C-alpha cells in the first residue's frame, strides 16, 4: 500500500478507486520484468501514463523511452519509421535511416492504438517479439534488438481478430500481462477529487481563487457518463473556472455552463462505427424512443396536476413525496434548466437505502369528478403504435434534419452518428 501511494504522489495520480489501485498495482509488479504488457481502456483513461510508470520502475529506466501512435503514421511509411530503411528502398529514400527499434535498443517502446497497425507491420512486430530481430525496408539482413514493448488499445482486439483485422498470434504475444484501466464513470468516487485537482491547477496558473461545487452539483458530475473520461473532466473544470463568476457553483448554474451534464449514465453501444458500414444501431434508436416517452410522461403528470389545481379537486398533499407544490407552473413559465429538472436527475441517483415517506391512509382523500363532465369527453380510442425500428429510424432522421434546418453535420451530431452514415440513410430512405 505504501508503494502504491508513493507512486501516486510521484506521478500525480488522483483517485482511491479499487479498480484504479488494482491496475496500478499490476503495473508496478510487472515493471520489474521484461514481459510484454497490453494496456486496454477507453480513450482518455491515462494509458500512456501507465506505460511511463512501467518503464521508469523497470531495470531499463536509465535507457530511452518513446511513445508511438500507430494510428497516426501512414500505412506506407510505418515500416520505415519502426524498422528503418536502406538507401534507394523506395522513392525518396536518399539515404539509410535507423528505425525506432534500432534507435531505442535497450529501452522501452510504447505502441498506442496497436489495433490500427497494418497486417504487414503486425507480422514484423511478431518476429521481434518471438526472435528479437527485424529487417530494414529494402534490406535482406536481419538485425537484433532488445526492446521492451508496451502496447495499448481502446478497441476490443478480440473483435478485430474475429473480423480478420488483427493477428491472433500477435494478440497472445502482446497480452502476456493485461492491464485494464477503468473508465471514469466506473470510479465515481474519484470524479470530484479530479475536478478539484484541475480547478486548483487552473487557479494557480492564472492566480485566481479555485472554484468549488456544492453537494448537488457534485452529484451531477458523478451521474454523468463522461465519454471523454479524464480529458473531458479537465475541460469541464477549466470551463467552469473561466465562465463562472461565483466560486461556489450550484447545480443549476453548473447546468447553465455545461448543459451536457443532464445526459444520464445509461448503457451504450461501444462497438466501432464501421459495423455494417456504420448502420444506425437499433438499441441506440430504442434508447432515444424511451427518452421521448419519459418526457411525454413528465408532460402528462404536469397536465394532471394542473387540471387538479384548476378544478379545485381534493387530493392528498404529495409535495413531501414528489417535490411538487400546491401551485403547478405552466409549461411556458418553466426555465430551460429548472430546479425541478435538477431534482429529477438527482432523485434518480439517490441511494436506495433512503426510504420515501408514506402518507397515512386517513389523510388520503379520493379525487371526486363531476359526472356531468363525462359527456364533455369522447370515448377512448386505442391506436396501435408503430413499433417498426425502420420507421422510427426514419422519423428520428426527419426530426433531426428539421430541427437543424437541413444541416446534415449538426443533425448527425445530434443523432450521434457520422455524417457519412446520415448521408447514406437519407439516400436509402429517399428523405
Give the sign of the dihedral formed by CA 405, CA 410, CA 414, CA 420. Answer: positive
Task: State the Cα–Cα distance between residues 8 and 23, nearest whole angstrom.
Answer: 12
CA dihedral 26, 178, 114, 70 (to 10 degrees): 10
Look at residue 339 in the predicted model and tell me its pLDDT.
56
DSSP state of 192: H
Contacts of 349 (CB under 8 A, 6+ apart): 219, 222, 223
User: Do the beta carbons of residue 225 and residue 265 sit within 8 Å?
Assistant: yes
Largest distance between two CA atoms of the chain = 99
User: Do the beta carbons of residue 430 and residue 397 sit within 8 Å?
Assistant: no
DSSP-H helix ranges across 249-360: 251-257, 282-310, 319-322, 339-348
User: Do the beta carbons of residue 183 and residue 226 sit within 8 Å?
Assistant: yes
Q: Which helix (H) or strand (E) holds 424?
A: helix 419-429
Task: State the Cα–Cα distance between residues 283 and 393, nearest whole angstrom.
Answer: 11
Chain-centroid distance of CA 431 in Å reads: 31
Look at residue 149 in the predicted model and tell me its pLDDT.
96
User: Do the beta carbons of residue 146 and residue 132 sit within 8 Å?
Assistant: yes
Task: State the Cα–Cα distance between residues 233 and 45, nearest whole angstrom.
Answer: 11
185-262: what CATH class? mainly alpha
DSSP state of 67: E
User: Do the beta carbons of residue 173 and residue 151 sit within 8 Å?
Assistant: no
Q: Which of 257, 231, 224, 259 is nearest to 242 (CA)?
A: 257
Angle between helix 18-31 and helix 2-11 axes, rounded to 10 deg: 90
Look at residue 88 in the predicted model and tell me its pLDDT.
87
Predicted TM-score (pTM) of the model is 0.61
The grid coordinates listed for 117 are: 497497425
Look at residue 92 in the predicted model and tell me its pLDDT.
83
The grid coordinates listed for 318 are: 404529495
Return the number of other C-beta atoms located less than 10 Å from residue 372's C-beta: 7
Task: State the Cα–Cα distance between residues 324 and 337, nearest whole angstrom.
Answer: 16
User: Do the beta carbons of residue 285 and residue 393 sit within 8 Å?
Assistant: yes
Rg (CA), the chain: 29
The grid coordinates listed for 105 are: 535498443
Look at residue 180 in the predicted model and tell me its pLDDT.
96
Look at residue 181 in the predicted model and tell me its pLDDT.
96
Q: What is the mean pLDDT of each run of 10 residues along the chain (431 residues)?
A: 86 93 95 95 93 96 96 92 91 89 96 94 95 93 95 93 94 95 94 95 93 94 93 95 93 92 59 46 73 83 78 56 43 49 58 48 48 52 62 84 85 84 82 78
Contacts of 352 (CB under 8 A, 6+ apart): none
2-182: what CATH class? alpha beta
Contacts of 133 (CB under 8 A, 6+ apart): 127, 142, 143, 144, 145
Look at residue 288 in the predicted model and tell me its pLDDT.
75
Q: Where are the domains of the chain?
A: 2-182, 185-262, 283-369
The grid coordinates listed for 8 are: 501516486
Please give, one letter per residue, the 3-state secondary structure of 380-398.
CCCCCCCCCHHHHHHHHHH
- Partnered with residue 149 across adjacent β-strands are 109
Look at residue 41 in the predicted model and tell me its pLDDT.
94
What are the backbone angles phi and psi of residue 258, rounded to the nearest 5°? Answer: -125, 80
Amino acid at each position: 500500500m505504501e508503494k502504491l501511494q508513493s507512486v501516486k504522489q510521484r506521478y500525480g495520480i488522483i483517485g482511491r478507486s479499487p479498480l484504479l489501485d488494482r491496475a496500478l498495482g499490476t503495473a508496478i509488479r510487472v515493471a520489474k520484468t521484461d514481459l510484454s504488457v497490453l494496456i486496454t481502456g477507453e480513450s482518455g483513461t491515462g494509458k500512456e501514463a501507465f506505460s511511463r510508470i512501467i518503464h521508469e520502475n523497470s531495470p531499463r529506466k536509465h535507457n530511452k523511452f518513446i511513445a508511438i501512435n500507430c494510428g497516426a503514421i501512414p500505412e506506407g511509411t510505418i515500416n520505415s519509421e519502426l524498422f528503418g530503411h536502406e538507401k534507394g528502398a523506395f522513392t525518396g529514400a536518399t539515404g539509410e535511416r535507423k528505425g525506432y527499434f534500432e534507435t531505442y535498443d535497450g529501452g522501452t517502446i510504447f505502441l498506442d492504438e496497436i489495433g490500427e497497425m497494418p497486417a504487414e507491420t503486425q507480422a514484423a512486430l511478431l518476429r521481434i517479439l518471438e526472435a528479437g530481430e527485424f529487417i530494414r525496408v529494402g534490406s535482406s539482413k536481419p538485425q537484433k534488438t532488445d526492446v521492451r514493448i508496451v502496447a495499448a488499445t481502446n478497441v476490443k482486439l478480440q473483435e478485430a481478430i474475429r473480423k480478420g483485422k488483427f493477428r491472433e498470434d500477435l494478440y497472445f504475444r502482446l497480452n502476456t500481462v493485461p492491464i485494464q484501466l477503468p473508465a471514469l464513470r466506473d470510479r465515481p468516487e474519484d470524479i470530484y477529487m479530479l475536478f478539484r485537482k484541475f480547478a486548483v491547477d487552473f487557479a494557480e496558473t492564472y492566480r485566481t481563487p479555485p472554484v468549488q461545487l456544492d453537494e448537488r452539483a457534485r452529484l451531477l458530475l458523478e451521474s454523468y457518463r463522461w465519454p471523454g473520461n479524464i480529458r473531458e473532466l479537465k475541460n469541464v473544470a477549466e470551463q467552469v473556472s473561466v465562465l463562472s463568476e461565483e466560486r461556489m457553483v450550484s447545480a443549476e448554474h453548473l447546468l447553465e455552463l455545461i448543459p451536457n451534464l443532464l445526459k444520464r449514465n445509461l448503457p451504450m453501444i461501444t462497438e466501432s462505427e464501421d459495423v455494417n458500414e456504420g448502420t444506425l444501431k437499433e438499441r441506440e434508436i430504442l434508447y432515444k424512443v424511451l427518452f421521448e416517452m419519459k418526457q411525454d410522461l413528465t408532460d402528462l403528470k404536469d397536465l394532471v396536476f394542473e387540471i387538479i389545481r384548476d378544478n379545485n379537486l381534493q387530493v392528498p398533499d404529495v409535495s413531501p413525496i414528489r417535490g411538487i407544490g400546491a401551485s403547478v407552473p405552466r409549461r411556458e413559465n418553466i426555465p430551460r434548466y429548472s430546479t425541478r429538472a435538477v431534482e429529477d436527475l438527482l432523485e434518480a441517483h439517490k441511494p436506495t437505502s433512503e426510504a420515501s415517506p408514506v402518507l397515512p391512509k386517513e389523510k388520503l382523500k379520493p379525487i371526486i369528478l363531476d359526472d356531468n363532465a363525462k359527456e364533455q369527453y369522447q370515448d377512448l380510442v386505442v391506436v396501435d403504435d408503430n413499433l417498426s425500428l425502420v420507421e422510427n429510424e426514419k422519423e428520428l432522421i426527419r426530426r433531426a434534419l428539421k430541427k437543424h434546418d437541413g444541416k446534415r453535420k449538426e443533425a448527425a451530431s445530434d443523432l450521434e452518428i457520422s455524417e457519412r452514415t446520415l448521408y447514406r440513410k437519407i439516400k436509402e430512405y429517399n428523405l
